[in-house]
């Protein structure tokens, strides 16, 4: 994944079909009012406010499954995967036919590498909703994937799982896990943020290894929370393979903390800066090429840029992130990500963490 297209498709389907469930509570009651404000907050992206509203409603109506669903969605958007899972399991224990809860729970299990668990959740849900096409399509895709990946390798503590598409290669898997473990601690410590999700890496051993970090057309499909890398011949390109792994790991970690709300330059800039050579190539690129893209072009998808423009875009993004680190430390960027996860607007969170308006920061770059 070079450009994280934060396409939480399942989530979008869930919120669309779940919101009317608020009507289950008795209108006019305090629980009803709290639930309504929870759904409104979810729709507006105020995730922390949503979590508070659903918690209040659940104090009043602890056995209302739709409230557990709302609480689970809010927790998911706040990056609290374990809490989200528990809320959704509770919702389904109370109402096994609550398809939106099954969809989101299955998706969370899939993202945390529990493919069998995800399949079980979807199978149980399909018994209640045999005509639901989203559910049927997800179940079909997961069964295909389960058939494909016979063997897999998990790190100790299972922070990482490596799967193969094509022949498996144990030495490559353990090398990848070693690189990812040490990079995890380096990045998490710098950002003072320790995401606890399991990260799945899929190595395509029949596809020639190449640098996918600046080729946004790779994995053009929606980002589904996995790191996908072509890996045939990777052992002969060890340093480059490590760089690509760490670049993609940063995306996965950032995504784990803040599922949405980031401008692309921040996502890509962090991924480049945390590469093993500390983005030396990006500095060299900017020294060599004095052209600059306007910052406005760095906020959206890089896939529309030409190859030369894309190179510049990645280098400029890295320079912007370095400027942020120098301005107030990398931990402030970690705090910014947590603000975004809570649903704060980017400009507000930026000003709070860097004590300078985003527009003024962008202007300072031009000087
Ligand atoms: Zn990238």
Residue 157 has pLDDT above 80, yes or no: no
Residue 302 Cα to ligand 1 midpoint, Å, equals 9
Fold of 9-146: 1.25.40
- Order of strands, sheet of 160-165, starting from the edge strand that comes earlier in the sequence: 152-154, 160-165, 199-208, 226-232
Residue 325 Cα to ligand 1 midpoint, Å, equals 19
Mean predicted lDDT score pLDDT of the chain: 86
Residue 44 corresponds to which tokens in the numbers above? Answer: 């507006």
For 146, residues 6+ apart whose C-beta sits below 8 A from its C-beta are 115, 116, 119
Mean pLDDT of all residues in 236-244: 93
Among 78-92, 238-252, 301-315, name the one with the lowest average pLDDT. Answer: 301-315
Residue 247 Cα to ligand 1 midpoint, Å, equals 6
Give the per-residue pLDDT at 303.
79
Residue 249 Cα to ligand 1 midpoint, Å, equals 9
Residue 331 has pLDDT above 50, yes or no: yes
Residue 2 Cα to ligand 1 midpoint, Å, equals 3
Residue 213 Cα to ligand 1 midpoint, Å, equals 5
Most confident of 26-30, 113-117, 285-289: 285-289
The string over 106-115, giving b where at least 16 C-beta atoms fall within 10 Å of a residue's C-beta and e elsewhere, is bbbbbbbbbb
The Cα–Cα gap between 202 and 206 comes to 12
Residue 4 Cα to ligand 1 midpoint, Å, equals 7
Among 202-206, 219-223, 335-339, name the one with the lowest average pLDDT. Answer: 219-223
- Going by pLDDT thresholds of 50, 70 and 90, the confidence category of residue 7 is very low
Give the per-residue pLDDT at 68.
96
pLDDT tens across 258-282, in order? 887 889 999 999 999 999 987 788 9
Residue 344 Cα to ligand 1 midpoint, Å, equals 24
Give the per-residue pLDDT at 12.
52
pLDDT higher for 24 or 288? 288
Residue 50 Cα to ligand 1 midpoint, Å, equals 31
Give the per-residue pLDDT at 144.
82
For 328, residues 6+ apart whose C-beta sits below 8 A from its C-beta are 353, 354, 355
4-8 contacts at long range (C-beta below 8 A, 24 or more positions apart): 4/223, 4/251, 4/254, 4/255, 4/264, 4/267, 5/222, 5/223, 5/301, 6/223, 6/255, 6/259, 6/260, 7/222, 7/223, 8/259, 8/260
Residue 271 Cα to ligand 1 midpoint, Å, equals 6
Residue 110 Cα to ligand 1 midpoint, Å, equals 22
Distance of CA 158 to the CA centre of its chain: 18
Answering whether pTM is above 0.85, one says: no
Distance of CA 187 to the CA centre of its chain: 15
Residue 163 has pLDDT above 70, yes or no: yes
Residue 346 corresponds to which tokens in the numbers above? Answer: 């980017």
Residue 252 Cα to ligand 1 midpoint, Å, equals 10
pLDDT higher for 13 or 103? 103
Residue 182 Cα to ligand 1 midpoint, Å, equals 19
Residue 17 has pLDDT above 70, yes or no: no
């Amino acid at each position: 994944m070079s450009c994280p297209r934060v396409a939480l498709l399942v989530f979008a389907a869930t919120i669309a079909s779940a919101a009317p469930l608020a009507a289950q509570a008795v209108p006019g009651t305090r629980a009803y009012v709290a639930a309504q404000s929870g759904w409104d907050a979810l729709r507006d992206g105020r995730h922390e406010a949503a979590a508070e509203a659903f918690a209040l409603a659940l104090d009043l109506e602890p056995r209302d499954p739709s409230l557990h669903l709302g609480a689970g969605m809010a927790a998911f958007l706040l990056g609290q995967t374990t809490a989200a899972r528990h809320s959704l399991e509770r919702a389904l224990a109370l109402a096994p036919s609550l398809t939106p809860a099954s969809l989101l729970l299955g998706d969370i299990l899939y993202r945390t590498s529990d493919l069998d668990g995800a399949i079980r959740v979807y199978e149980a849900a399909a018994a209640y909703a045999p005509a639901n096409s989203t559910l049927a399509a997800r179940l079909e895709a997961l069964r295909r994937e389960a058939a494909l990946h016979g063997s897999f390798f998990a790190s100790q503590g299972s922070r990482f799982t490596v799967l193969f598409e094509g022949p498996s290669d144990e030495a490559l898997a353990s090398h990848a896990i070693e690189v990812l473990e040490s990079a995890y601690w380096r990045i998490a410590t710098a950002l003072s943020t320790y995401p606890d999700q399991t990260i799945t890496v899929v190595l395509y051993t029949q596809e020639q290894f190449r640098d996918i970090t600046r080729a946004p057309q790779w994995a053009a499909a929606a980002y589904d929370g996995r790191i996908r890398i072509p890996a045939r011949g990777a052992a002969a390109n060890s340093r480059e393979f490590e760089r690509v792994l760490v670049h993609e790991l940063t995306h996965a970690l950032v995504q784990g903390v803040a599922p949405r709300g980031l401008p692309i330059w921040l996502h890509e800039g962090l991924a480049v800066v945390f590469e093993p050579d500390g983005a030396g190539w990006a500095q060299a690129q900017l020294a060599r090429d004095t052209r600059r893209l306007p910052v406005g072009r760095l906020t959206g998808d890089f896939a529309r840029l030409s190859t030369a423009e894309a190179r510049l875009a990645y280098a400029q993004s890295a320079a912007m992130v370095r400027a942020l680190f120098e301005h107030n430390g990398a931990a402030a960027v970690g705090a910014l990500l947590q603000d975004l996860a809570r649903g704060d607007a980017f400009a507000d969170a930026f000003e709070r963490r860097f004590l300078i308006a985003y527009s003024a920061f962008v202007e300072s770059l031009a000087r």
